[in-house]
Amino acid sequence: MWFKNCLFYRLSPAISWDENQLQQQLAEQAFSPCGKREPSQYGWVAPLNGAEQLSFWGGACFMLCARKEEKILPTAVVKEKLAERVALIEEREQRKVYRKEQQNLKEEIVHDCLPQAFTRSSHTYAYVDTKNHWLCVDASSHAKAENLIKLLRDSLGSLPLQLPQVADSPALVMSQWLRGEGLPDDIVLGQECELREAGEAGSIIRCKNQDLLSDEIEQHLLAGKQVVKLALNWQDSLQLVLADDLSLKRLKFSEQLLSEAEEASGGDNQARFDADFALLHHQFARLLPQLLDWFGGAKDEPV
């Protein structure tokens, strides 16, 4: 349940959260498996395995989990069947099968093969901090996060939110950090970064296992490149890669935190989930305001 990535959004303080009402709203979009000819399904499942509640509450925060199930049809199989049908029609009717007809044939093949297709499932976790008005999604891409956001919006009827806006350019500020300027006291530079030149055709430099304060990195900065991804260690409790869109990637929580959760659980599954969740949202409740401050603070814009 510990997040591997985090995309966070500012929620409107006007949203009212009621646990019983939320359960009813989520139930209307609960997950159900794919039917024989359905290519995919997406809906809510219980965050805690084996539980019935579609939201797991811990204090002023609650966890959600969306499950996606999709049928797998190997592209090579579809291509092979399509080629067979096209060849049969061309031989039987002595005519050329053009692109539009081939597309229709392909759709028919997919429709016919769906009942025999294997399925695969994936889960996306997210939590809402009703006190600090955050939605945090464990997703590596905004497209994946948007799928969960749409499902939550459909469940609630509306969901006013926005990506956080900061006063200063994260790429500019992170570049200054690599020049030795203004690095916050609570973070330590890692050994990985991505530097990018301005413009769509600008060059990209990716560094790993590199001293980021070296002359080599400085030369790239002097040439006009800026930092768009940077590995950081925050307060010895969390390692992460911070991107210039404020997304957090490759999160790695400290062994001390993980041990605290294990000790608090006493070996019980629900207690462990509760302890993990409590420590997770407590860390983010501390980190996110600090992160915004690193870049001049949040812009005061209504959600």
pLDDT recorded at residue 164: 94
What is the per-residue pLDDT for 108?
Answer: 86
CB 129, CB 6: distance < 8 Å: no
Stronger pLDDT, 201 or 81, i.e. the higher one: 81
Residue 303 has pLDDT above 90, yes or no: no
Position 122, amino acid: S
Strand 134-137, strand 61-72: pairing: unpaired
pTM tops 0.75 = yes
Residue 116 DSSP code: G
pLDDT in tens, 244-256: 999 999 999 999 9
Query: Would you state the pLDDT for residue 87?
Result: 86
Confidence of residue 78 (pLDDT cuts 50, 70, 90): confident
Residue 291 has pLDDT above 80, yes or no: yes
With a cut of 80, say whether residue 150 has pLDDT above it.
yes
**Token pair for residue 84?**
């067979």
Residue keyed to tokens 């891409």 = 141
Each residue of 10-37: pLDDT tens digit? 999 999 999 999 999 999 999 999 988 8
